[in-house]
A and B are shown apart, each in its own frame.
Chain A
Amino acid sequence: MINFKKQFLSIVGISCLVVMSCENEADQSPEVPLEVQIANDIPADPNAERGAPPSFTFYDLESGTVLTKSDSNSVQWDLAFSGTTILINGGTSGPGLGSAQLVEGIFDNLASAPADGYSVDGQNGFAIPTGSGNGWYNYTGGSVPINAILPIPGRVLMLTTGDGNYAKVEILSYYEGNPDPSSQAFIDQSSRSAARYYTFKFMVQPNGSINF
């Protein structure tokens, strides 16, 4: 319970930073250090019906906003979410310059993006691979907390955005409200908050450099 409270406070704290960073962005001043931003509870087709085609939520990292579906053919969006699948704006998924690769490390300590090694979405799979352990998450299966999708800590998505800027993203939660997976409320599936809501932190370098 204490952990949960602290976590809640830290989320509030980071959210304040996000608000501040949004204000700072208006300056467009290159001297201002880049801020870590947090996107909270981005829906990823939470009401999906079985058999229905997936519905994606399109997200623009540069503005930190969810776009309307009509923007899906533009280069503006950077990530699209539906269930555990994450698309980038490149290759078969979109007209943009988007590409991605997964690196291992601590988000804050990754001072630059790799110069190469990126791939785009294609017929033979996505730049961000799907499946437990392959990409950004592990599926717990029968182990407690059962049937949960947990982001793999230390796995950072290195991206080029639809506009061609470098960005880094770390998925924090797949559940509404970013719950503590070790809490009793999460372990009990009947009280677990809804799945298919992404919380992630990210940082974009708008000047085209690979350094954050």
Chain B
Amino acid sequence: MMTDMYRVGFILIFQLPLMLWAQDWHTLEGRVVDSNGEPLHYVNVMVDSMGTSSNTNGNFSLTLKQGVHQIKFSLIGYQIETKTINIPTKAPLLIVLQQTAQQLEDVVVTATRTNRKLDDVPVPVTVINDEQIQRMGALRLNEVLQEQTGLQMTSDHGTGLMMQGLPSEFILILLDGEPIIGRTAGTLDLERLSVDNIKQIEIIRGPSSSLYGSEALAGVINIITKESDEGFHLGVRSRVRSFGTSDVGINTGFKTEKFSTHLFLNRLSSKGYDLNESTISQTVPPFEAYTINPKFSWDITDAIKVSLNSRFYTEQQENQFEINQNAESFNISEKGKREDWSIMPNAEILFNDRHRLNIRSYTTQYKTEMVLNRQNDGSLHDADFFNQLFNRSELQHDWYISDQHILTLGLGRTYEKVEATRFDGLNIFHANYGFAQHQWSPDERFNIILGGRFDTHSAYASRFSPKIALAYSANKWLKAKASFGGGYKAPDFRQLLLNFTNPVIGYTVIGSNLIRERIEQLQNEGRISAILIAPSTMEQIQAEHSIAFNLSLETSFNDRFMSSINLFRNEINNMIDTAPIAIKTNNQNVFSYFNFDEVVTQGIEFNSSYRHSASWEISGGYQYLDSRNLEDVEAIKNEQVFRRNTTTNQTELVRLTDYGGLPNRSKHSGNFKVFYKNMMYDFDVALRWIYRGRWGTGDNNGNGLIDASSEFADGYSLINIALNKQLYGQFRMEGGVNNLTGITHPFDPSLAGRIWFIGLNWQLN
């Protein structure tokens, strides 16, 4: 750097006399390189209204008028560099562009629980950084994930998602490495999570139970929140949207040499919307949500670092609906409240270069409350609550044995407490676990991971989850990755604890934890007419578990064109479903939960991106998905499945070619994105097209599986456009439209039609 400055100085002084004789127009030549001295292609070189870009060798040339000029050098992923040059100058100009933080930080933690370069990780990982999130104008996590290849959003007791054909209950969602609790019917509502304080989202595909235990069966999504940079910063971002939606977020904090703090505050409210005018209830009711996210960290010494992260969230919503009971109809007011909080103290001790010890504790609570009142007299119609407390303490030791070997060992214990209207009493569970992982890089071409985790639990059988992964770099542009792993998902609360009798039909469902005592109780009350399965012969319920393979090829022909293909197959055994265990004297069944179904999901995911120049970038993705219940396939092969043909009203055999797989899965889905950045006027536009092909909704011809065209919902396309414009200094403006064509869909209530948005961002650094 210094030598460059001297050189420029030298040129300016010693070539001054030449300039006196020079003509009006002169050629300026130069070269742009990165901090490693590698030439940079397609760097935008702008002088006043003229511009050019660097060639493959990083060289450029411009013809300029005599005099002083400001030259601006820019390239996506690099910090903008401005030079003042006095023309003419004979010596070529050398410009060094520094990579922006994101580019340097393409380090992922989720795949191995150690910081590794994305390139070195042998499992399929997607990283979404804050810049990409900002470009989209997204408010909540579901909006970001919806635009990723292979992820499909679902609406079932909240907005969930499908990954590799597996639903929310099989996807672990972490916030700064700790699991977020609070699922309803398996769905963790992604709308609880604001994206305004996210530094990076890491998506790991394929099972990671070998590191994370339960739920990490289809994959893991880790949300890593922002930390403060040096000094003080304050940012305020406010946005308004259609449907009376408004969002205000504040990110602030400071960092000194030893101490760092970050505070995030967010308020989101909406008037909601109604897609069905014939009912008094709204499809999405009005709501108001607050998030507070304080973080502190303190480097006590060079070797000891402590931190405390916390989160507080509260949300309220109101709705109304009509019910019919005994030929009378009532209007009911519904008031719902949802809260969660968590604290995560964390200590990191570096004994020396080789040993790192991480001690952490995580306590979190999730609560919901719902009150239903009759509108005519205000009397209580029904009330419901759910209260879950979760604590986990964990010790992790990373041993950097040599450049080639990293060994990670961990031990942990969890405590969980659940109380709810539908469950009897207060329920307490304990679990212990240990995990080990060895990362081995025999040479520059190979990266190997071997790992496993053992989990014991007080309410279901113990599990061992293995993982093997291998990456091989054939050459500079081709890399292959293969991984094999086991995943599992613990039985959920309702599968263990439910004690429910349908008031209208009269059947009973009992969780596996209670089945013996409840059957005994029903027998003593004389309400059982027949036992179908003796509770004493029932085995302890097992976790749903899977084995999965992922095989991928990644190519990057140069910095501009990248492409990857991933083949996956998940085989899930012991899927939990209900089956009758006894018949009651009212001729209705008593159901309990059993392990029986076997399910396979498999497919191909394809991603590609191309950076045409500093201004243009396009990318696309596609997923083909095949999903099947093996029992259904077997029954079809044995000619045991029939359907009623709606045209002929005749019963006919269902053939394997009619079989539509598991519900809610789209066989085809994809996206196409164009990003344009204008260097001259400092604005950017992100245009995204998201496609979801048709998917099975449910059986309507009585055979319990999807086989007829009327059992599919139509596919749809979404077009989202966002625009960002830097205003004077600290202000940035954004605006755009989501769902441009205004699509609504009877099977996807989250599609509300066209949504306009506009926002203003003020950033003080």
Contact = CB atoms under 8 A, between A and B. Distances in A.
B701 A182 contact: yes
Given A10-B649, A104-B640, A130 B700 contact: no
B711 A182 contact: yes
A68 interface: no
A130 B647 contact: no
B540 interface: no
Nearest to B646: A3
A170 B651 contact: yes
Contacts of B649: 7, 10-11, 14, 172
A11 B649 CA distance: 8
Contacts of B640: 104, 154
A123 B529 contact: yes
Interface in B701-749: 701-704, 708, 710-711, 747
Contacts of A85: 587
Nearest to A190: B278
A153 B643 contact: yes
Instruction: Among B504, B587, B641, B648, find the residue whose CB has the most chain A CB atoms closer than 10 A.
Output: B587
Interface in A168-210: 170, 172, 180-182, 186-187, 190
A69 interface: no
B710 A130 contact: no
A143 B698 contact: yes
Given A131-B589, A144-B747, A152-B703, A172 B644 contact: yes
B545 to A, nearest CB: 25
Contacts of A145: 698, 700
Nearest to A132: B589
Contact of B700 (A6, A50, A144): A144
Contacts of A186: 700
A58 interface: no
A126 interface: yes
A124 B583 contact: yes
Interface residues of A, number: 42
Given A106-B651, A144-B700, A154 B642 contact: yes
Contact of A181 (B507, B587, B641, B700): B700
Given A106-B653, A123-B529, A182-B710, A138 B704 contact: yes
A151 B580 CA distance: 19
B507 A131 contact: yes
Given A106-B651, A130-B589, A153 B646 contact: no
Contacts of B646: 3, 7, 180, 182
Nearest to A14: B649
Contacts of A81: none
B530 A125 contact: yes
B663 interface: yes
B580 to A, nearest CB: 6
Given A11-B649, A50-B504, A134 B702 contact: no
Contacts of B698: 140, 143-145
Contact of B588 (A3, A131, A150): A131
Contacts of A153: 642-644, 651, 701-703
A154 B641 contact: yes
B594 to A, nearest CB: 13
Contacts of A77: none
Given A124-B583, A143-B697, A137 B648 contact: no
A11 B583 CA distance: 37
B288 interface: no
A138 B651 contact: no
A104 B587 contact: no
Nearest to B653: A106
Nearest to A182: B710
A181 B701 contact: yes
Nearest to A170: B651
Contacts of A125: 529-530, 583, 587
A3 B647 contact: yes
B652 interface: yes
Interface in A138-172: 138, 140, 143-145, 148, 150-155, 170, 172
A138 B710 contact: no
A133 interface: yes
Interface in A1-51: 3, 6-7, 10-11, 14, 50
A172 B703 CA distance: 12
Interface in B584-621: 587-589
Contacts of A180: 646
B304 to A, nearest CB: 52
B699 interface: yes
Contact of A137 (B326, B588, B702, B708): B702
Contact of B701 (A150, A155, A190): A150
A130 B646 CA distance: 26
Contacts of A3: 646-647
A62 to B, nearest CB: 24
Contacts of B697: 143-144
B138 to A, nearest CB: 29
Contacts of B700: 140, 144-145, 148, 150, 181-182, 186-187
Contact of A154 (B326, B529, B588, B651): B651
Contacts of B701: 150, 153, 181-182
B590 to A, nearest CB: 10
A212 interface: no
B706 to A, nearest CB: 10
Contacts of B647: 3, 6-7
A29 B652 CA distance: 32
A59 interface: no
Interface string B402-443: 000000000000000000000000000000000000000000
20 contacts: A10-B648, A50-B504, A107-B651, A131-B507, A131-B580, A131-B588, A131-B589, A138-B699, A143-B663, A143-B699, A144-B700, A145-B700, A154-B641, A154-B642, A180-B646, A182-B710, A182-B711, A186-B700, A187-B700, A190-B278
Closest 6 CB pairs of A and B: A154-B642, A143-B698, A182-B710, A150-B702, A124-B530, A153-B642
Interface of B: 278, 326, 504, 507, 529-530, 580, 583, 587-589, 640-644, 646-653, 663, 697-704, 708, 710-711, 747
Given A107-B651, A126-B587, 11 more contacts: A104-B642, A130-B589, A131-B507, A131-B583, A138-B699, A143-B663, A145-B700, A150-B699, A150-B702, A153-B701, A172-B644
